[in-house]
Amino acid sequence: ELNILQTLLKKDNFAEYQKEMKKRGNNGGITILFYGKSGTGKNSIVNALAKSNEINILHADLSKLRDMYYGNTEKNIKSLFFDYEKINKESTNQTLLLLNECDALLGKRNLVIQERHDMSEAAISNVLLEMFEINSGIIIATTNLEQNLDPAFLRRFNFKIQVGHPNRKAVKSILKSKLDFLNDNEISRIADKYLLTGGQIENVSNKCIINRIITKSNPTV
């Protein structure tokens, strides 16, 4: 699926996809969900897809979209999507809209509206569903909590890709890249003993750099 996505998002291929979809009454956008445990590389995949196809990334700060005043969150969501559409119209390169930790906005709705809060959440969901429907670009969402997403949103994703733990071969490759002072035997020992994610290895790598700065030496295994 990643290979299909990488090829589809090439400039000419995506333009052809948009053209074909518009013939069928669709706006020509594509929506993609990456889900899986924290640190498994969801954002790294997004960055790799964007870099390989010369696509810009617009990061949406979902925490800033929510507003305490009734109706303002919906306005903020619409402004985000309209700004994104404007960026794509004015730029020669495609831009993708990245919704990190999307469960903050795409969570399951309370279908039995009992309070003003429920009405507000329902209104927010309706606006988001509308924005997904009229999307003509590339929306990529990530989450650690796929089970918390509303089924109505899950149906809107053209691709739903689970990103799991890297296998032993991948762990060894990441260790070699991030901890280049380790020899092959040490890398194999660590990869065999621990089920590590890319994010965990990144944290270890950062601490090794701090250790080297302070002690002027690399830590031992």
In this prediction, residues 91-115 reach a mean pLDDT of 76
Whether 187 and 176 have beta carbons less than 8 Å apart is answered as: yes
pLDDT digits (tens, 9 = 90+) for 66-79: 766 667 888 888 99
The per-residue pLDDT for 110 is 59
DSSP H stretches of helix in the chain: 2-8, 11-23, 42-52, 62-65, 72-90, 103-106, 116-134, 151-154, 168-178, 184-193, 198-215
Residue in 1, 5, 4 with CA at minimum distance from that of residue 139: 5
Please list, in sequence order, all residues whose beta carbon lies within 8 angstroms of the beta carbon of residue 83, skipping any fewer than 6 positions away. none
R_g (Cα) of the chain, nearest Å:
21
Q: In what order do the strands lie in the sheet with 159-162?
A: 56-60, 95-99, 138-143, 30-35, 159-162
**Which of 65-79, 122-136, 187-201 has the weakest average pLDDT?**
65-79
User: What is the DSSP pairing of strand 95-99 with strand 138-143?
Assistant: parallel
pLDDT digits (tens, 9 = 90+) for 3-48: 999 999 999 999 999 999 999 888 889 999 999 988 888 999 999 9
Half-sphere exposure (Cβ direction) of 96: Cα atoms closer than 13 Å: 26
Tell me: the pLDDT tens digits for 137-149? 999 999 988 888 8
Q: What are the pLDDT digits (tens) for 168-188?
A: 999 999 999 999 999 999 999
What pLDDT, on a 0 to 100 scale, did the predictor assign at position 70? 66
Q: How far apart are CA 221 and CA 186, in angstroms?
A: 7
The pLDDT mean for the chain works out to: 87
117 pLDDT exceeds 70? no
> CA-CA distance, 166 to 160, in Å (whole number)?
18
